[in-house]
Amino acid sequence: MTMSNATELTADHHARLAELGLRVDHLDEAIWAGVDARLSAPPLGPTNGAGLLDWVHRVGRLREVLVAEGWTKVDKWNAGLVQHPSKPVVLGTLQGNRSTGNPHAPLRSDYAKGPAIAAMMRGNDHDQLSLFDSFHAHEWKLWFLVTYVVQEDERTTVLREVSQPEPTPQGQVVDRWAHRITLPPLEFGPLPPMRTAHEVDVPVRVRE
């Protein structure tokens, strides 16, 4: 299932996220925290430093805002997931590709997934008519906040969607999706050019 390539948020976006117990501001908080941390990477740090910081803070903030609303963090196998208190939803984060957020383009994860994510994805069933038809006590649907950062000049844009992958074997990239809730990109403006304040002259004249 795909959604139109929206340029702004619609009621449909909000409704579909609400089915998962999510709001757009949950996602924005996490994405913002990731970009905020990304820009703090030291210039001589490892080349993947910015991305690593982005991931650490994106996961951290996503779980911070959701745990505050009753979700539970899931740390098994260091997967960095968070579980809804009543719905059969487990949410993680995933780095996508340039197709992220575009329902007409092939989305795939940037990295192959490990055993934890592969195991969690076994419960995902793309044949269900509703998101939760196959729910039972031990069968959770794994969803991802999928993001991809595009850096052009000084401007940072984060492509984003919330999507449910089809079961994918361990060691393979995720490129088949049961559901995609594609969202408009999140823009971060450029750093401002340095402006010098216009100085004033204080006239002083000797009285004759």
Partner 1 sequence: MLTPSRLVLARTRRGLTAAELARKAGVAGVADYEQGRRRPRPATTLKLAAALGFPAPFLEGDEVPHVDPGFTGDGPDRARATAAARLALGFAGWLDARFALPDPDVPTWEHPDPETAATMLRARWGMPHRPAPTMVHLLEAHGVRVFSLPPDCAGAGPFSFRHAGTPFAFLDPADARDAAARELGRLTGTSDPHAFARAFLLPRAALLASVPRNPVTEQVRAHAATWGVTPLALAHRLHDLGLLAPGRHTTVCANLARDHHPARHETSQLLTKVFTALRARGTTPHHVARHLHLDVEELNGLLFGLVLTALPGGRHLTPVPRR
Residues binding partner 1 (CB under 8 A): 28-29, 32-33, 35-36, 39-40, 61, 65, 187-189, 191-192, 194-195, 197-207
Nearer to partner 1, 133 or 154 (CB): 154
Min CB(195)–partner 1 separation in Å: 5
Q: Closer CB to partner 1, residue 35 or residue 90?
A: 35
Instruction: Supply the minimum distance, in Å, between the C-beta of residue 6 and partner 1.
Output: 19
- Shortest separation between residue 180's beta carbon and partner 1, angstroms: 25
Closer Cβ to partner 1, 127 or 199, answer by number: 199
Cβ distance to partner 1 smaller for residue 54 or 120 = 54
Q: What single DSSP character describes residue 13?
A: H
b/e code 113-141 from CB counts within 10 Å (16+ = b): beebbbbbbebbeeeeeebeeebeeeebb
Residue closer to partner 1, measured from CB, 11 or 200:
200
Measured over all CA atoms, what is the biggest interatomic distance in the chain, rounded to whole angstroms?
A: 97
Q: How far is the CB of 109 from partner 1 (least distance, A)?
A: 25
Phi, psi of 172 (to 5 degrees): -115, 155
Q: Which residues contact 97 (CB under 8 A, 6 or more apart)?
A: 107, 108, 109, 110, 148
Judge whether 82 and 91 are in contact, CB under 8 Å. Answer: yes
Minimum separation from the CB atom of position 201 to partner 1 (A): 7
DSSP 65-124: HHHTTT-EEE-GGG--EEE-SSSSEEEEEEE--TTTT-TTS----SSB--HHHHHHHTT-
